[in-house]
């Protein structure tokens, strides 16, 4: 049987890492407390990296660490110790953009090196070069097409990784300096202030100007991507919620598995696209994969980003004898609402809330306090870490 393409998920903290892996990711990527491009994420300490590797490896899954800032002289001072510490912690690969760091790791440690998308690699000759330098995988720039990906793979045979879902940078694979100029926060050293999403005043005009990109969504073209020979499909979002990751990873897990079992139908794609559309607060497009990106892939003169309240509760425990689920509430719901619970093993159960209790089993009719512990009758065999949401119709 052909080896399945890898589904790679972001992990902003240990909880999100576990959720991503439980809901179907084959590997996760995250940053340590230094040298990562997401300085505002809850990045991992060395001890947390050890815990992350232990958990992932227990599931026969992998852990990749981002080491992809643009290094200045002062950034190199302690990087060799950091690299040794995280290798000893058990990571499977580094995601790197700096040539010196790549060479240092390859010369000294038995772990893979993946060239970051920050390398802005867009052509086959560049991939050949990095292959000669010992790079094990290239994360292609987000500005390449499906046609180009296939040509690159056919010419090089190297493991390739591409993004399939999430936020898109307005600038070439993240190489932006707007944040530096506007806020003195270096976007290429972990401090991006997302200036491209600011709304700017236009002189003598009531409208606002924005250059913000729509999010990426490749659910409808997943089969085309897999058939290029690409090795890993990457979801963006180390700053996203556990619910977002569970939903997105679960949807793409179903689509990937359906492809390999010859069950990837238009009906399934449409269903998962509807689920994906409800978890994000921006419109989506396929950006550069089919054509040069244009005005249809961005927001101009204003936009709406409306967060929904679909995520209702996280399942903390389930008693199979009493059918009582212990949950922590996330958004308002009440008796009589149509809901569904989706589980880490890919199942979805729809039902109407009929019996609801507080933490002490006193009957209630409304859940109105986020983070409150509640009890709920669920006549299905669910498990811890399942999630309840508004029924997707």
Closest CA to 344 of 388, 315, 391, 385: 385
Q: Beta strands 333-334 and 373-377: pairing type? A: unpaired
Q: Please state which of the ranges 117-126, 297-306, 341-350, 384-393 shows the lowest mean pLDDT.
A: 297-306
Helix (H) or strand (E) holding 139: strand 137-139
pLDDT tens digits, 86-111: 999 999 999 999 999 999 999 999 99
Collapsing DSSP to helix, strand or coil, 24 comes out as coil
Kindly report the average pLDDT of the chain as a whole number.
Answer: 91
Q: 6-297: what CATH class?
A: alpha beta
Taking the mean position of all CA atoms in its chain, how far away is CA 376? 30
Q: Beta strands 159-166 and 387-390: pairing type? A: unpaired
Taking the C-alpha atoms of residue 332 and residue 339, their distance in angstroms, rounded to an integer, is 12
Collapsing DSSP to helix, strand or coil, 261 comes out as coil
pLDDT tens digits, 329-376: 999 999 999 999 999 999 999 999 999 999 999 999 999 999 999 999
Which pTM value belongs to this model? 0.92
pLDDT tens digits, 192-237: 777 777 888 887 777 778 778 888 999 999 999 999 999 999 999 8
pLDDT tens digits, 120-155: 999 999 999 999 999 999 999 999 999 999 999 999
Taking the C-alpha atoms of residue 214 and residue 237, their distance in angstroms, rounded to an integer, is 14
Intrachain domains 6-297 and 311-390 with the same fold: no
pLDDT tens digits, 240-291: 899 999 999 999 999 999 999 999 999 999 999 999 999 877 888 888 899 8
Taking the C-alpha atoms of residue 279 and residue 302, their distance in angstroms, rounded to an integer, is 21
Token couple for 51: 């815990």
Q: 311-390: what CATH class?
A: mainly beta
Closest CA to 389 of 290, 279, 230, 274: 279
Taking the C-alpha atoms of residue 170 and residue 195, their distance in angstroms, rounded to an integer, is 10
Taking the C-alpha atoms of residue 356 and residue 8, their distance in angstroms, rounded to an integer, is 37
Helix (H) or strand (E) holding 317: strand 311-319
Q: Which residues of 236-266 are buried (b: 16+ CB within 10 A; e: fewer)?
A: bbbebebbbbbbbbbbbbbbbebbeeeebee
Residue ranges of domains in the chain: 6-297, 311-390
Residue with tokens 């290094």, as numbered in its chain: 71
Average pLDDT over residues 39-46: 73
Closest CA to 225 of 289, 297, 140: 289
Closest CA to 240 of 2, 9, 69, 56: 9
List of residues 6+ apart from 47 with CB closer than 8 A: none
Average pLDDT over residues 311-328: 96
Half-sphere exposure of 298 (CA within 13 A, CB side): 17
């Amino acid at each position: 049987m052909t080896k399945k393409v890898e589904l790679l998920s972001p992990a902003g903290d240990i909880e999100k890492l576990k959720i991503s892996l439980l809901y179907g990711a084959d590997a996760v990527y995250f940053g340590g407390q230094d040298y990562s491009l997401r300085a505002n994420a809850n990045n991992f300490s060395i001890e947390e990296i050890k815990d992350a590797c232990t958990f992932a490896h227990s599931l026969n899954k992998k852990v990749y660490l981002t080491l992809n800032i643009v290094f200045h002289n002062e950034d190199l001072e302690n990087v060799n110790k950091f690299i040794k510490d995280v290798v000893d912690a058990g990571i499977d690969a580094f995601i790197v953009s700096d040539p010196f760091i790549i060479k240092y790791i390859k010369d000294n440690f038995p772990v893979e090196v993946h060239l970051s998308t920050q390398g802005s690699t867009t052509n086959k000759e560049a991939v050949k070069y990095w292959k000669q330098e010992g790079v094990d995988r290239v994360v292609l720039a987000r500005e390449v097409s499906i046609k180009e990906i296939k040509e690159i793979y056919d010419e090089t045979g190297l493991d390739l990784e591409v993004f399939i879902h999430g936020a898109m940078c307005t600038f070439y694979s993240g190489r932006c300096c707007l944040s530096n100029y506007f806020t003195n926060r270096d976007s290429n050293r972990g401090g991006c202030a997302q200036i491209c999403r600011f709304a700017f005043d236009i002189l003598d005009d009531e409208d606002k100007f924005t250059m913000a990109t729509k999010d990426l969504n490749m659910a409808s073209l997943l089969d085309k991507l897999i058939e290029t020979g690409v090795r890993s499909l990457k979801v963006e979002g180390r700053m996203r919620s556990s619910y977002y990751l569970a939903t997105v990873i679960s949807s793409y897990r179903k689509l990937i598995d359906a492809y390999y079992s010859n069950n990837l139908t238009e009906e399934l794609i449409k269903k998962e696209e509807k689920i994906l559309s409800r978890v994000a607060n921006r419109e989506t497009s396929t950006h550069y994969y089919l054509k040069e990106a244009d005005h249809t892939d961005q927001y101009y003169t204003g936009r709406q980003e409306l967060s929904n309240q679909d995520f209702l509760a996280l399942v903390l425990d389930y008693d199979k004898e009493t059918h009582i689920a212990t949950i922590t509430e996330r958004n308002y719901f009440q008796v009589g609402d149509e809901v569904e619970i989706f589980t880490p093993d890919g199942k979805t159960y729809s039902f109407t809330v009929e019996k609801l209790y507080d933490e002490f089993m006193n009957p209630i009719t409304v859940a109105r306090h986020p983070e409150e512990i509640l009890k709920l009758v669920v006549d299905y065999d669910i498990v811890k870490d399942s999630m309840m949401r508004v029924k997707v119709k």
